[in-house]
Chain A
Amino acid sequence: MTGRAGAGGRPGGDVESLDRAARVYRLAMGAYPRRWRARYADEVLGVLLEPAGNAGPAVDWREASSLVGNGLLVRVEELFGWCTRRTREVAAAGASMMLMVVSVAALVFGEWLPRRAGAPLLSIEDADVAAGWQAAETGFGTPGLGTIVCLTAMVGSLCTILGRARAGQGWFAVTAAAALAAPLVSAVVPVNRPLVMHLALVFGLAMVAAAAPVAVRPGRRAWVAGGVAAVAGVALLWVFSSVTHDGDWSTTFYDVYLVTRPISDAVSWVTIPGVLVVAVVPGLRRHIAAYLLMCLPWWLQQAGFQQLRSLLAPDTVPAFIGLAALLILAAVGLARLRQTYRLERINPRP
């Protein structure tokens, strides 16, 4: 390590760190379209390296991630610049609805098809084999991870809605990392592979990424209320159908898993990085949080909740308690959002 330069110039080590910082920032600016880089890249680099002075700059990773996020947004804007904002909103809402319909259809189809075909009910052990699971002998496996993913998302949503944006952002980062870790862990460690929690998780994320800005705009409260009612309703139906289930969980487990796995894998790898990027863009944080909260009854019921229930007790009491807690949470979130709408009506944002 070289010493610090005098007033005359930079020492060799600082030149190295300058080059490194410039390289990192240029790499991050690769997220912008070429046109934008030609116009602004030099300027942005100058701004980012200016505070260093003679001390030599360290890479500011927040700046780098901000560049990536903004760059992707500029690309999206350019991609959809040909259509009006209204058209984009309608398209985003349509895509979200479609995703919801497809996901629910996949779940229903996965349950119905084997029964229609007269497929025999398998024991849980046989179903595990059919679904390619590896049973956990002991310890903490991906079901536990799924639960954590849901809980961290819940905390992140609440933090953001309550105005603790920075804390919320951290929780979302943890959520995304855990969501990413779940399939990876299951691939390399002999523990239970994720059940439908994978799909449920990414389903929520995809809906958030696609529809959040539309759903929570002032005047769209009906969307929010409808969303909450829909996800809570589906979750309740699921719980009640579980209560009257014939006792053999194997069809629920392996069929749903087999049908939905390709969808869940494809969607998850696309949406998780996307949500991470969107989560650091200030203007969208509240929207994401609101929509996450809307998805939570569905989410947690599918992912962590079912795991928790099987871990804690065979009856459904914890299920109802968990669901009730989530609905209360959603109600609190909605009350908070109403307040936000009122404020935005008085002082609208563009």
Chain B
Amino acid sequence: MAKTGMQEPTFLVLTALAGGPRHGYAVMREVTAASEGRVRLRAGTLYAALERLEAEGLVRACDSEVVDGRRRRYYELTDQGAARLAEEAARAAANAARAKRALAARTARAARTVTA
């Protein structure tokens, strides 16, 4: 698989599933909560992501139940999905660290300019 970054909604879906098996609606709520309301997944977007992630082997349907006459599936993260999420989290952390270093250097430069 190409080692490219993933889009935020995908990242948040995987993060939601890292907490344990969840059905679609629970994933949507979890994503909204995790992003502090910034990302609101629509059902069409969520299931497009789930279908793609299933095809890539990152998540799988693990259980199902029938509620109000409608099937409700539970999805969970696969080992491959967990590895990918970890890799993505590490990349994001490295990016954040790089940004912090750059900002610190900028602050230091500004301080030097003021003292000079």
> Chain B residue with minimal CB distance to A283?
B7
Q: Is A67 an interface residue (CB 8 A)?
A: yes
Stretch at the interface among B12-20, B46-54, B103-111: B46-54
Tell me if B97 is interfacial: C-beta within 8 Å of chain A. Answer: no
**Cα distance, A51 to B25, chains bound together (Å):** 9
Verify A45–B47 contact, CB threshold 8 A: no
- Residues 32-76 of B contacting A (Cβ, < 8 Å): 42-48, 51, 67-68, 70-73
Contacts A47-B25, A348-B4, A350-B7; A70 near B48 (Cβ below 8 A):
yes
Question: Counting CB contacts under 8 A, is B2 at the interface?
Answer: yes
Residue of B nearest to A281 (CB): B45
A67/B43 contact (C-beta < 8 A), A43-B70, A46-B25 known = yes
Task: Report yes or no: B44 in contact with A44, Cβ–Cβ below 8 A.
Answer: yes
Distance (whole angstroms) from the CB of B32 to the closest CB of chain A: 11
Q: Is B80 part of the contact surface with A, judged by Cβ < 8 Å?
A: no
Question: Is the beta-carbon distance between A47 and B95 smaller than 8 angstroms?
Answer: no
- Pair A347/B47 contact, Cβ less than 8 Å: no
Do B24 and A47 have beta carbons less than 8 Å apart? yes
Number of interface residues of A (CB under 8 A): 28
Known: A46-B25, A70-B44, A70-B45. A348 touches B5 (CB 8 A): yes
Query: Closest A-chain residue to B91, C-beta based?
Result: A347
Establish whether residues B48 and A73, one from each chain, have CB atoms under 8 Å apart when the complex forms.
yes
Instruction: Report the minimum CB–CB distance from A15 to chain B (whole Å).
Output: 12
B90 on the A face (CB < 8 A): no
Question: B68 to nearest A CB, angstroms?
Answer: 7
Nearest CB on B from A345, distance (A) = 11
CB distance A46 to B5 under 8 Å?
Answer: no
For the complex, is B28 an interface residue (Cβ under 8 Å from A)?
A: yes
A116 at the interface (CB under 8 A from B): no
CB distance from B112 to the nearest CB of A (A): 26
Q: In the complex, A51→B24 CA distance in Å?
A: 12
- Residue in B closest to A73 when the chains form the complex, CB atoms: B48
- Known contacts A36-B51, A42-B71: A47-B5 contact under CB 8 Å: no
- CB <8 Å contact, B4 and A63: no
Assembly CA distance A48 to B28 (angstroms): 11
B: which residues have CB within 8 A of A? Answer: 2, 4-7, 23-25, 28, 42-48, 51, 67-68, 70-73, 95
> Which 7 A-B pairs give the minimum distances between C-beta atoms?
A70-B44, A66-B42, A66-B44, A46-B70, A47-B24, A67-B44, A350-B4
25 contacts between A and B (CB under 8 A): A42-B71, A43-B24, A43-B47, A43-B72, A44-B24, A46-B67, A46-B72, A47-B23, A47-B24, A47-B25, A47-B43, A47-B46, A62-B42, A63-B42, A66-B43, A66-B44, A71-B44, A74-B48, A347-B95, A348-B4, A348-B5, A349-B5, A350-B4, A350-B5, A350-B6
